[in-house]
Structure 1
Amino acid sequence: MDSTALRTAFASFPTGVTALAGLVSGKPTGMAVSSFASISLEPPLIAASIQRTSTTWPILRDATALGVSVLAEHHGEVGRRLSGPGDRFAGVDWTTSQSEAVFIQGATAWFDCTLHQEMPAGDHVIALLKVTAVEFRSSSRPLVFHGSGFRRLA
């Protein structure tokens, strides 16, 4: 199987973009995640697929709580910043919950979570997150990842 062709085919499926973040040693730590899915209502579970080569996940997985922010259509620059090197939270408007989950201000939804289970999945790991609290703004439009770029819904 040609991995370039497979990546291009995967990119033809539009997904939402989330920020997965928590406080580590008092500092916000996080990453952009486009492979995100709702899994279960009872117990309340969501999943994030994370590359095994990630240098952020080994640090982030030990956070007390993890925030998942569904990025809004105006968060394109935030998505790029959270995907790249350097201080990912420089210039990003963020907040924390009492549990120390980190959230992006203006997101369409926030999920306050704890790590429930982690499973190997090829060159990725699937992090199952247990949702402990949720907030959402149904009138807000999400940021979409499609064709290897950030897009807005028309």
Structure 2
Amino acid sequence: MEDIAPFDEARVRAVLGHFVTGVVLVTAAAAGPLGFTCQSFASLSLRPALVSLSPARTSTTWPRIRAIGRFCVNILAEDQEALSRAFARSGADKYRGLAWTPAPSGSPVLDGVVAWVDCELHAEYDGGDHTIVVGRVRALHCAADRRPLLYHRGRYTQVRPAGPAALSYCAA
């Protein structure tokens, strides 16, 4: 087998950035609402219903959400880039002027999202400079008329449909 050339963090980011991801906001409610932007989110299991997300170890919000033990994953719509950017920053009152309703867990469901997944913390694993979080799905909902915000090669992007809309399973 041929030797693999050494690589650095910038090369890893550049190559793996070719994989398109969705953008989510992970929210929870304690004394006040909490939240952070995350692009490392995936469906993990159907039975039981589990999802995974990976907050950075440097996150100051994830430890506070972990202590609550429940959270909501808000899948952002294509017109919510500014919201994603706002929640990616530390500090400021991210919820000022933002409309939301509580999920069954009490975690914020942000108005206008493509879908939301209400979870309880199921497990955590070491993921290098990130923590791999597994959430057990307790409730979920989607909006059939919304398209997701995507992230590709270091930039936000949108779905560009090529043909007729696919069937939707978002009906109540």
- Is the TM value for this pair above 0.5? yes
Of 59, 65, 75, which aligns to 2:64? 59
- Residue 101 of structure 1: CA displacement? 1.5
Counterpart of 2:74, as a letter, is S
> What residue in structure 2 maps to residue 77 of structure 1?
82
> What residue in structure 2 maps to residue 37 of structure 1?
42
Task: Identify unmatched segments of 5+ residues in structure 1.
Answer: none
Give % identity: 35
| Structural RMSD (CA) | 1.2
Contact map agreement 1:64 1:100 (CA 8 A) in 2: no
Q: Deviations over 1:74-121 (max 9, x none)?
A: 110000011012222223322212321211111111111100001111
> What residue in structure 1 maps to residue 135 of structure 2?
129
Counterpart of 1:77, as a letter, is A
Query: TM-score by structure 1 length?
Result: 0.94
d(CA) in 1 for partners of 2:12 and 2:69? 36
Task: Identify unmatched segments of 5+ residues in structure 2.
Answer: 1-6, 161-172
d(CA) in 1 for partners of 2:73 and 2:155? 20
Secondary structure in structure 1 of the residue aligned to 2:74: strand
Higher relative contact order (CA 8 A, sep 6+): 1
After superposition, where does 1:40-119 map in structure 2 within 5 Å?
Answer: 40-86=45-91, 87-119=93-125
1:7 correspondence with 2:13: yes
d(CA) in 2 for partners of 1:85 and 1:35? 18
Aligned length: 153
**If you compute each CA radius of gyration, which structure gives the higher value, 1 or 2?**
2
Secondary structure in structure 2 of the residue aligned to 1:4: helix
Query: TM-score by structure 2 length?
Result: 0.84
Q: Structure 1 stretches (4+) deviating beyond 3 angstroms?
A: none
